[in-house]
């Protein structure tokens, strides 16, 4: 898979107890396995099937994705920040690849 | 499947759409299959239609390949009362499953947005389950001009 790069938008800092919004996007074809190529054969399925977000090692949010999710999956959710720390995001691909990224957040 | 776009639109309006549409997997993509999945998810409970769960979709989606959707559940999101998961179904897709969101008290709010594919005009259903065992449901019809899923 060429150049799959996750992008995440997390505020740099937040007040303790604040609920922040996190926006994520990863470029990925999300090939459903139902589409036919030019040669008339089905294009094999290639889907990011799971996304997780952890904060300081504790689960915040996760989701299971099906082929019905658009290409370049965009996921937006919220998180409650009680302390400074690191968000860790991972995307699981059908082929076993895991794409990861991390973002730090400080307390105002 | 050599239907023109106009024919496809007509076909999708009719009740016999699933048969005419000709997806090889269309047998599994019925409102009945969705109802069955909802039953499994809810553990036999009857979901409450109401204001606690809000599913936001556009009324008309010009492009079925990227339809924005948003779910939001009213919940205190405390350690003993929070929304565990929200599942989304598209009744008219070849495979009705779309996504399952799992929340924790650390989510702060039971809200999520994503973008989905819709094969044709259909109902989108969201069902939420809380840690106390409550089940909520919301349903919206989305009119699709150009279907996604590469059909």
Q: Rounded mean pLDDT of A71-95?
A: 96
Cβ contact A70–B108 (<8 Å): no
Share of chain B above pLDDT 90, in %: 58
A6 contact partners, CB below 8 Å, separation of at least 6: A24, A25, A26, A89, A91, A99, A100, A101
**CA gap B131, B78 in Å, rounded:** 10
Query: pLDDT tens digits, residue range B70-116?
Result: 999 999 999 999 999 999 999 999 899 999 999 999 999 999 999 99
Q: Which of B69, B114, B119 to mutate to test the interface with A (most CBs of A within 10 A)?
A: B114
pLDDT value of position B46: 86
Name chain A contacts of B29, Cβ cutoff 8 Å: none
pLDDT at position B88 is 96
pLDDT tens column, B111-138: 999 999 999 999 999 999 999 999 999 9
Q: Among A89, A19, A82, which Cα is nearest to A61's?
A: A89
Distance, CA of A90 to CA of B21 (rounded, Å): 37
Contact, A53 vs A88, CB < 8 A? Answer: yes
The ipTM, to two decimals, is 0.92
Q: Evaluate whether B98 touches B116 at the Cβ level (below 8 Å).
A: yes
Name which of B69, B92, B65, B25 is nearest B146 in CA terms: B65
Nearest to B149 among A34, A58, A60 (CB): A34
Task: Collect all residues of chain A within an 8 Å Cβ-Cβ radius of residue B103.
Answer: 61
Please answer yes or no on whether A66 and B95 come within 8 Å at the CB atom: yes
Chain A hits for B94, CB-CB cut-off 8 Å, are: 34
Dihedral Cα B12, B13, B16, B18, nearest 10 deg? 30
Half-sphere exposure of B90 (CA within 13 A, CB side): 30
Tell which wins on pLDDT, B20 or B82. Answer: B82
| A59: nearest CB among B104, B116, B149 | B104
Q: Structure pTM?
A: 0.84
Contacts of B132 (CB under 8 A, 6+ apart): B80, B81
Contact yes or no for A60 and B116 at CB 8 A: no
A62 and B102 in contact by Cβ < 8 A?
yes
Q: Averaged over A47-58, what is the pLDDT? A: 96
Q: Which among A63, A70, A79 is the nearest to B106, CB-wise?
A: A79
Give the chain A residue nearest B64 (alpha carbons).
A70
Closest to A77 (Cβ–Cβ): which among B97, B107, B115? B107
Q: Which residues of B touch A75 (CB under 8 A)?
A: 112-114
Q: Could you tell me if A102 lies within 8 Å of chain B, comparing CB atoms? A: no
Kind and range of the H or E run holding B41? helix B31-42
Q: Average pLDDT, whole number, for chain B?
A: 82
pLDDT > 60? residue A19: yes
pLDDT score at B27? 44
* pLDDT band per the 50, 70, 90 thresholds, residue A71: very high
């Amino acid at each position: 898979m060429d150049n799959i790069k996750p992008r995440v938008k997390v505020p740099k800092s937040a007040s303790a107890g604040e609920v922040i919004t996190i926006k994520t996007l990863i470029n990925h074809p999300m090939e459903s396995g139902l589409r036919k190529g030019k040669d008339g054969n089905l294009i094999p399925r290639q889907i990011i099937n799971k996304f997780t977000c952890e904060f300081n090692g504790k689960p915040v949010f996760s989701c299971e994705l099906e082929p019905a999710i658009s290409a370049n999956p965009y996921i937006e959710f919220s998180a409650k920040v009680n302390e400074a720390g690191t968000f860790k995001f991972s995307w699981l691909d059908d082929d076993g690849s895991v794409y990861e990224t991390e973002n730090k957040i400080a307390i105002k | 499947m050599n239907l023109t776009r106009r024919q496809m639109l007509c076909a999708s309006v009719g009740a016999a759409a699933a048969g005419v549409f000709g997806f090889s997997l269309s047998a599994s993509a019925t409102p009945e299959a969705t109802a069955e999945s909802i039953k499994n998810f809810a553990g036999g409970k009857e979901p409450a239609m109401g204001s606690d769960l809000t599913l936001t979709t556009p009324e008309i989606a010009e492009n079925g390949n990227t339809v924005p959707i948003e779910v939001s559940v009213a919940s205190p999101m405390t350690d003993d009362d929070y929304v565990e998961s929200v599942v989304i179904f598209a009744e008219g897709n070849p495979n009705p499953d779309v996504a399952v969101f799992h929340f924790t008290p650390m989510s702060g709010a039971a809200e999520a947005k994503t973008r989905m594919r819709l094969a044709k005009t259909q109902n989108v259903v969201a069902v939420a389950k809380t840690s106390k065992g409550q089940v909520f449901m919301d349903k919206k019809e989305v009119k699709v001009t150009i279907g996604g899923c590469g059909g």
